[in-house]
Amino acid sequence: MTTMLQRFSTRQRVEHFVVMILFTTLCVTGLPQKYFQADWAAAIINALGGISAVRWVHRVAGILFTIVTAVHLVVVIAGAVSGRMTLTLVVNRQDFVDAMTTLRYYLGLSNEQARFGRFDYRQKFEYWGMIMGSLIVILTGLVLIYPIEVARWLPGQVIPAAKAAHSGEGLLAFLTIIVWHIYNAHLNPDVFPFDKTIFTGQISEARMKHEHPLELEGRKR
């Protein structure tokens, strides 16, 4: 019988599901606006009811994404300050050591494999990339929603700069999810064809021993 362990709480699973839905909505409504001259973009815009409808949905999804991000940061900061939450996603020196150990292993220069705790350096890289990217699209998105108000306080050049940054970061986020996240979550041989952990919250003890041995050892102390 396979022993299952709890890895993600209900709050974390719900948060991931909401972000997944909002991110998908933002990509479906945002990328066609960036490439509006392409036939596929025009087809999507028409299918969604025209450019006005697409912009409205994109802004609503953006506002909801902003709220979810703000709540996440408040919960994390409050948990860290109160001592109720361990900052397991903070990058530290060991992550650089683990990265070099992994590189040496894959190059055949060493038989030693890195041993990870709750999150490895790749997961931390993806998390902080998401946080930084989210802050960029949120701030630039607010500038684009309220250009007149922003121009009263900041130089007018901020508006086109915000548009370029918003568009570029949105495309970068989309490509990161497609190239990086989907591989690690679904196409990685260790989890292929689908990793249900973030949806069920459960992970097998055998898999945790393989992927997060330090965390498992900590639980058994």
pLDDT tens profile 135-194 = 999 999 999 999 999 999 999 999 999 999 999 999 999 999 998 888 888 788 888 888
Give the count of domains, the chain.
1
pLDDT at 87: 82
CATH number, residue 212: 1.20.950.20
pLDDT at residue 195 is higher than 90? no
pLDDT of residue 126: 92
User: Where in the sequence is the domain holding 78, given as residue range(s)?
Assistant: 4-220
Give 109's contacts (C-beta < 8 A, 6+ positions apart).
Answer: none
Mean pLDDT over each residue of the chain, to the nearest integer: 92
Over residues 92-120, the pLDDT tens digits come to 999 999 999 999 998 999 999 999 999 99
Q: What is the pLDDT of residues 20-29, one digit of tens each?
A: 999 999 999 9
